[in-house]
Amino acid sequence: MDEARIARRRLSPRLWLAGGWLLLALLAAIFAPLVAPQDPLAQDLMLERLPPFWLDGAEPGYWLGTDSLGRDLLSRLIFGGRIAFIVAFAAAIAACLVGSTLGLVAGYFGGWADRIISRIVDVWMAFPPVLFAILLVAVLGTGLSSVILAIGIIDWTRFCRVIRAEAMGQSRMDYVENARIAGYGRIGIMLREVLPNVVPSIVALLSLEMGIAVIVEAILSFVNLSISTDDPTWGGIIAEGRLSIHQAWWVLVFPLITLILTVLSFSQFGEALKTRFDPVLR
Amino acid sequence: MSACLDIRDLSAVLPNGQRVLRSVSLSVQPGEVRALVGESGAGKTMIGKAVLGVLPSSVRIVEGNMKLEGEDLGKLQPKARRTLIGARTALIPQDPLTALNPSRRIGPQMTDRLVRILGWGGEKADTRIRQLLDEVQIRDPDRVLKSYPHELSGGMRQRVLIAAAFAAEPRLIVADEPTTALDVTVQKQILRLIAELQREHGTAILFVTHDLGVVAKISQKVSVLYAGKVVEEADTAALFAAPEHPYTRALMAATPRYTDPFASLMPVDETVLAGLAAEIAAADQAWRRPHG
């Protein structure tokens, strides 16, 4: 027990590294107009395809270089983070609310409720998620709210399946039986005895889902189905960078690194939070 | 004065029609400890669960009735039944680890129930809980009430559960093998505690166990159960002095004795089991005839 605890302490840099990156990216996104060195939309054909700062020909003030229209890459990444984070939070919370509620009901009540919800989940998961997302956005129309809605509609099953399994195990526990003997109602027991025990999993999934939402948003903007304004998005920058990979690799590489770091941080942060939240593991 | 618990001809079946309880009758008088002995699978726990209204959904009661302090449980509306069972009974469970919610502190877990059952205020409930913790000889209630279940030892958790069971002054406690999951040295203390609290509070206990040694120590009456059927019922002293049913005798012969630890253990005799099987088959036959 003690050894395991010490090992977990040692692992907790994971929490700080992941949380640190997320906080940095989040703050940069929130205060984008203040921190971004340039206007992300300002085009200047005199400055096109400037390399990042450590290469010959770099201009001061354009740290990560510019794209083929002379727009500052760092500024575009920072502003792109705004959309990425808005989508991450809103979509993950939407998916979490729907999925966790249905999962809890299915797992705890069992019987018909479980059969119906589980069948819906099965059918839902038979759709390839990315195609489903593209289809949904095509139907709902492009725009921030449709992207959020699409991710929520697709990914609630992830919460539902995990929370259902956990609630099922919980409902067989003696303390649930004890609460029934004491005369508590079913919904009361679900909220009072079962829910607190699945919260660590919900937290971990929520963080994981935020990472997934970032990816899905990037995919949608990569195929130009995210938001239709001129605002930069990570997926959009990647799509542009792909076209000029031979002349300016940095336009592709930096947004990719940003995307990977963010998604990785979300999943690691979630795992670390789970251990923090769980009274038995803590 | 009516019995605290009176079970008459209780039969329960599985979905495949197999009987798990075979016309069980037993009663527990107020303030009395009734032991329910039998090997695993004999249906001891099933009877306890039936009384507390928490039978698994696959098990169906098909016959008989249960009266809790004169009230026929089968005739009550589900809600009224829940309220009655909640107020009059409590459970001391077998496994003290899974009987406490791991993500909630001990204090709120214990007080919540009193608030629920007795409608008390939080402070009154807290005082009562501390009093009970003192009775189960927990000397540092502040620490215990603030702890999560995994931070306490098995014996401590069982003490907490005993305190919780007695706290709302139930008329009947079902103790479902409360010492089985514990260390042998702790078993004795826990058993003594239950006996002590039982005497002080005058609570009737239905004590489910497979351990005849425990039966002798704690109970006044015994029902011996085999395959969901009561094969013998007697005063504890009388049963140990002169067991009537061959199965009871065989069960006693199979109990290891501290006085002669090197004696080889005897399994229950084959011919006795064969006799029992015939007895049960005949009973089932007779039972099925009127029930189709």
Whole-angstrom Cα distance, residue B281 to residue B258? 37
The chain B residue lying nearest A278, using CA atoms, is B103
Alpha helix locations (H) across B102-245? 106-118, 122-135, 141-146, 154-167, 184-201, 212-218, 236-241
The chain A residue lying nearest B94, using CA atoms, is A174
Instruction: Using CB atoms within 10 Å of the CB of residue B278, give its burial: 0 to 12 exposed, 13 to 18 middle, 19+ buried.
Output: exposed
The closest CB to that of A183, out of B93, B117, B150, belongs to B117
Mean predicted confidence (pLDDT) in B287-291: 70
* CB atoms inside a 10 Å sphere around CB B261: 7
Q: Is B101 in Cβ contact with A175 (below 8 Å)?
A: yes
Q: In Å, how far is A10's CA from the nearest CA of chain B?
A: 22
Under-50 pLDDT residues of chain A:
1-2
Number of domains in chain B: 1
Q: Quick one: pLDDT band at residue B40, thresholds 50, 70, 90?
A: confident
Q: Is A197 in Cβ contact with B89 (below 8 Å)?
A: no
The interface pTM score, or ipTM, of the predicted complex is 0.83
Q: For residue B235, what is the enclosing H or E element?
A: strand B229-235
The count of residues in chain A is 282
| Secondary structure class of B147 (helix, strand, coil) | coil
Q: In Å, how far is B82's CA from the nearest CA of chain A?
A: 5
Q: What is the domain range of residue B275? A: 5-291
| Secondary structure class of B9 (helix, strand, coil) | strand
DSSP 8-state secondary structure symbol assigned to residue A167:
H
The closest CB to that of B82, out of A175, A183, A196, belongs to A183
Q: In Å, how far is A251's CA from the nearest CA of chain B?
A: 48
Residue type for B120, please?
W
- Does residue A281 belong to the interface with chain B, where contact is any CB pair within 8 Å? no
- Does residue A201 belong to the interface with chain B, where contact is any CB pair within 8 Å? no
| Per-residue confidence (pLDDT) for residue A67, from 0 to 100 | 87
| Secondary structure class of A131 (helix, strand, coil) | helix
Whole-angstrom Cα distance, residue A166 to residue A161? 9
Only one residue has tokens 């998961």, namely: A125
What average pLDDT does chain B have? Answer: 89
pLDDT tens per residue across span B214-234: 899 899 999 999 988 999 999
| Per-residue confidence (pLDDT) for residue A1, from 0 to 100 | 42
Closest by CA to A237, choosing from A258, A216, A266, is A258
| Per-residue confidence (pLDDT) for residue B263, from 0 to 100 | 65
Closest by CA to A142, choosing from A230, A217, A227, A233, is A227
- Please say if the pLDDT value at position B260 is more than 50: yes
CATH at B38: 3.40.50.300
If you compute the radius of gyration of chain A from its CA atoms, what whole number of angstroms results? 22
Mean predicted confidence (pLDDT) in B128-151: 93
For residue B222, give both structure tokens. 């015994």
Domains of chain A: which residue ranges?
Answer: 2-40+64-277
- Contacts of A277 by beta carbon, 8 Å cutoff, 6+ apart: A199, A200, A203
| Per-residue confidence (pLDDT) for residue B261, from 0 to 100 | 64
Three-point CA angle B30, A174, B192, nearest 5°: 45
For residue B208, give both structure tokens. 């489910």
How many residue pairs from chains A and B have C-beta atoms closer than 8 A?
A: 60
Q: In what order do the strands lie in the sheet with B229-235?
A: B89-92, B172-176, B204-209, B33-37, B221-226, B229-235
The CA-atom distances, in angstroms, between B260 and each of A75, B215, B254 are 87, 20, 13
Mean predicted confidence (pLDDT) in B274-292: 76
Comparing A138-152, B120-134, B275-289, the range with the smallest average pLDDT is B275-289
Comparing A227-241, B116-130, B266-280, the range with the smallest average pLDDT is B266-280
Q: Quick one: pLDDT band at residue B52, thresholds 50, 70, 90?
A: very high
Residue type for B76, please?
L
Cβ-contact B193, B136 below 8 angstroms: yes
The CA-atom distances, in angstroms, between A214 and each of A158, A160, A207, A218, B215 are 16, 20, 11, 6, 64
Mean predicted confidence (pLDDT) in B40-68: 90
DSSP 8-state secondary structure symbol assigned to residue B188:
H
Q: Quick one: pLDDT band at residue B170, thresholds 50, 70, 90?
A: very high
| Per-residue confidence (pLDDT) for residue A8, from 0 to 100 | 54
pTM: 0.82
Whole-angstrom Cα distance, residue B267 to residue A36? 83
| Per-residue confidence (pLDDT) for residue A271, from 0 to 100 | 85
Q: Is A174 in Cβ contact with B99 (below 8 Å)?
A: yes
Whole-angstrom Cα distance, residue A126 to residue A129? 9
Whole-angstrom Cα distance, residue A269 to residue A205? 10
Comparing A99-113, B182-196, B231-245, B259-273, the range with the smallest average pLDDT is B259-273
Cβ-contact B20, B204 below 8 angstroms: no
The chain A residue lying nearest B80, using CA atoms, is A183
Phi, psi of B221 (to 5 degrees): -125, 150
* CB atoms inside a 10 Å sphere around CB B1: 7
- To the question of domain A2-40+64-277 being in CATH 1.10.3720.10, the answer is yes
pLDDT tens per residue across span B203-217: 999 999 988 888 998
